[in-house]
Amino acid sequence: MRLIDGKKISNEKKIEIKNKIKKIKQQTGKVPGLATILVGANPASQVYIKSKIKACEDVGIKSFHHSLNEDTAVENIIALIKNLNTNQEVDGILLQFPLPNNQDAQECINSINPLKDVDGLHPFNVGLLSISKSWDEIIERNILVSCTPLGIIHMLQMSNINIVGKTAVVIGRSSLVGKPLSMMLLANNATVIMAHSKTNNLKNLCKNADTIVAAIGKPKFINKDFIKDNTVIVDVGINRTSEGLCGDVDFDSVKDMNIDITPVPGGVGPMTITMLLENTLKAFNNKR
């Protein structure tokens, strides 16, 4: 087993971002700004927000945080977003999910200026991703795409893992991970199969895959019976159990196999936050 060290790759990328921002500040006297919005007091969301604010401080991005009460109406969230849309110091806007009380977040996402949509979830940016012909086009046009999939692609590239022409099975079809990642893998010339809870013969599909991405939110769901030797395993799951944090892959079951795998924690998680910083820098540069 070979570990794909997301923490190490993330730290290297953060140094690169920090140096770019330092140079921009020397040249213009300005730095990128990220506004975060947290509705309610979800403990996990509070941890994520603190991590994102700390990461901003580490690389020199100015942080603007807004905490709203759990019973805040969608109309008031949108009013805040519209105010941030016009704030020249704010280059990126991040609304932390999930919203409390099962509120539908899409209306809020739609109200974010697409040029400040550092989560890459606005229909405009999703559309740009879907019509892009290649990864080079996505990078050259500074398209804002979803952070977790972007981090996964960066990890694979920095680990010298070739996916061109290879079969990739993506388990999970969420708008945050599964769908955008499938499009990004396609842009990198992988052959992509999207699987989900209704997929038949999932084990057989995975057994024939060169890359498996587990993003289903089921603790230790993928075990050695799904995997052949020399497969690349990307574990997106972060599940809190009585035994502690674990991924969607049963790590102990596969640890003796000849595979490349992202650990949990220390794999995809750090990359997600770093790509948020990268997207904020992109948004700043796009504005300029």
* Radius of gyration, CA atoms only, the chain: 19
Active site residue 119: yes
Instruction: Determine how many CB atoms are found less than 10 A away from the CB of residue 280.
Output: 32
Active site residue 256: no
| DSSP E strands, the chain | 2-3, 33-39, 62-68, 92-95, 167-171, 191-195, 211-214, 232-235, 239-241, 244-246, 260-261
Active site residue 27: no
Rounded Cα distance between 280 and 147, Å, is 11
Residue from 117, 119, 210, 250 carrying the catalytic annotation:
119
Residue from 5, 13, 14, 52 carrying the catalytic annotation:
52
Residue from 5, 96, 179, 250 carrying the catalytic annotation:
96
Positive or negative, the CA dihedral 161, 167, 169, 174 is positive
Catalytic residue numbers? Answer: 52, 96, 119
